Amino acid sequence: MADISGNTTDMKVFLVTGGTGLVGKAVEEIVKQNDGKDYPGIKFVFLGSKDGDLSVYKEAKKIFHQHKPNYVLHLAAMVGGLFKNEANNLSFFRINNLINDNVLRLCDELRVEKCVSCLSTCIFPDKTVYPIDETMIHLGPPHDSNFGYSYAKRMIDVLNRGYAQKWQQEAKQSGCNIPVFTSVIPTNVYGPYDNFNLEDSHVIPGLIHKAYLQVQDAIQKGTKETQLTVCGSGRPMRQFIYSLDLARLMLWVSFNYQQTEPIILSVDEEDEITINDAAQLIAESFNKVAPDIKINLINDCSFSDGQLKKTASNLKLRKHLPDFVFTPIEEGIRTSVKWFWNNYDLARK
Ligand code: NAP
Ligand code: GDP
């Protein structure tokens, strides 16, 4: 458990579940910038699964009662790319439902002022019109490849609305303040501290790891060219968001966004690219760390493509933050490749 604290008397506690993962580490990095001065009076606590299994109510209760949070950013989840989802729908549904029900129940029991949970653009209906917006989450079945993860995530929105209704009814009698439980909907996230496992990861970390192994092999053999196998046709489209941008936006939501209804956290629609475009950027980024080796892409169409696109509108976000500048994907991928190259031994893989 990482505990970023100065003077702890009279400080409010901001608990981040899933604080050791891709997004949690990015939140920690943003909070640490400027010597933590951007968040005066707040003590941040970053939890990992070693601190307790949040899918078990007794363990979750112990952690929450120990920290007594005022704010919760709920990131902990069973997470994975297309192929892990396709193979494990039942576990994704059961484990994530247990984690989410325990976390929100404890936020209610401890009267947490604000709880922000995390959905994903991959939970939207498969058959839909584009761009997707926040009103469309429940308007039809999700893509079959990740129905377990999707339905579990959709239930967070149901819980948030249920708790809001309960507090409104209670407030009529007691007149006390009503907490805000809400959710954010990020697109496909990438960055340092990602899960780079070859089978279970999302596409960008998976391709970075594969490219790394190919480049190392080429260096050993003294060859100048190597291949990177991209699963599927490479034609599906995704709006990738850099983890540090997402972290900044999540912190903004935690302190400024007061609605129960979710908010999409995404790059603009025109920043959507194909899987092969992302793979090409990875190949080019390896050229910076291993300039003598050229990586050629090949597509293996025996793998599935998953959802062809899930173009999301960030209009709601842009109404609040019209000038937010996202990290260009070329730069984000370059930094992620460099991070993996320099941190191979400690990277999750
Ligand atoms: P991640 O890197 O896999 O991290 C998952 C985090 O959850 C880790 O800190 C992990 O702890 C913790 N965790 C998992 N199971 C737990 C359990 N049973 N009890 C306690 N902690 C547990 O995931 P991420 O990519 O940062 O995802 C963060 C959130 O963003 C998730 O809610 C995910 O659904 C959402 N999201 C992710 C993406 C994406 O592309 N990655 C896209 C949209 C939404 P350990 O490190 O100790 O295992
Ligand atoms: P999604 O965005 O939720 O569908 O999940 P992913 O991040 O796993 O991206 C899946 C898309 O990337 C599909 O079109 C896959 O065919 C494609 N893809 C290409 N190579 C890989 C790879 O090595 N790993 C993963 N996870 N997906 C890959």
Among candidate residues 226, 331, 240, 218, the one with its CA nearest the CA of residue 283:
226
Q: pLDDT value at position 35? A: 82
Q: What is the pLDDT of residues 186-235, one digit of tens each?
A: 999 999 999 999 999 999 999 999 999 999 999 999 999 999 999 999 99
Q: pLDDT value at position 176? A: 77
pTM: 0.96
Q: Which amino acid belongs to residue 102? A: N
Residue with CA nearest ligand 1 atom 36: 120
Kindly list the distances between the CA atom of residue 202 and the CA atoms of 86, 89, 159, 223, 283, in Å, as whole numbers in the listed order. Answer: 12, 16, 27, 29, 17
**Residue 2 pLDDT exceeds 70:** no
Ligand 1 closest atom vs CA 74: 32
Q: Which domains does the chain have, with CATH numbers?
A: 12-346 (3.40.50.720)
**Residue 68 pLDDT exceeds 60:** yes
**Residue 150 pLDDT exceeds 90:** yes
Q: pLDDT value at position 10? A: 81
Q: Specify whether the CB–CB gap between 299 and 234 falls below 8 A.
A: yes
CA of 202 to the centre of ligand 2 (A): 6
CA of 337 to the centre of ligand 2 (A): 17
Q: pLDDT value at position 3? A: 59
CA of 12 to the centre of ligand 1 (A): 24
Q: Note if 39 is an active site residue.
A: no
Supply the mean pLDDT for the chain: 95
Mutating to test ligand 1, I would choose from 75, 137, 156, 346 the residue with most ligand atoms within 8 A of its C-beta, which is 75
